A and B are shown apart, each in its own frame.
Chain A
Amino acid sequence: MDAKEIIARRVALELRDGMLVNLGIGLPTLVARFVPKGISVAFQSENGLIGFSAPPPEGMENRNLTDAGGGFIAALPGAASFDSATSFALIRGGHVDMAVLGALQVDASGRLANWMVPGKFTPGMGGAMDLVAGAKRVIVAMQHAAKSEPKIVETLTLPPTSARRVSLIVTELAVIEPTDEGLVLRERAPGVRVAQILAGAGARLIVPDETPEMSLGCD
Chain B
Amino acid sequence: MRKSAITAEAAAALIPDGASLMIGGFLGVGSPDRLIDALVSRGARELTIIGNDTAYPTIGVGRLIEAGCVARVRASHIGTNPTTQRLMSAGAIDVELIPQGTLAERIRAGGAGLGGVLTPTGVGTIVARGKQVVEIDGEIYLIEKPLRADFALLRAHEADYCGNLTYRLTAANFNPIMAFAADCVIVEPDEIVPTGVIPPDAVRTPGVLVTHLIGRPR
Give A residues with C-beta under 8 Å from B: 45-49, 62-70, 75, 81-85, 87-88, 91-92, 115, 121-130, 133-134, 159-164
Contact = CB atoms under 8 A, between A and B. Distances in A.
Contacts of B125: 129, 159-163
A120 to B, nearest CB: 9
B100 A48 contact: no
Nearest to B88: A122
Given A85-B104, A88-B105, A126 B77 contact: yes
9 contacts: A47-B173, A83-B173, A83-B174, A83-B177, A87-B104, A124-B75, A126-B76, A129-B101, A162-B124
B38 interface: no
The bracket for how many chain B residues form the interface is 35 or more
A82 to B, nearest CB: 7
Contacts of A121: 79, 85
**7 closest cross-chain pairs (CB), A and B:** A123-B79, A163-B124, A88-B101, A130-B101, A64-B171, A124-B77, A70-B27
Contact of B78 (A49, A67, A69, A124): A124
Contact of B29 (A64, A88, A129): A64
Interface in B116-169: 119-127, 157, 167-169
Contact of B172 (A66, A69, A81, A91): A81
Contacts of A159: 125-126
A128 B80 CA distance: 16
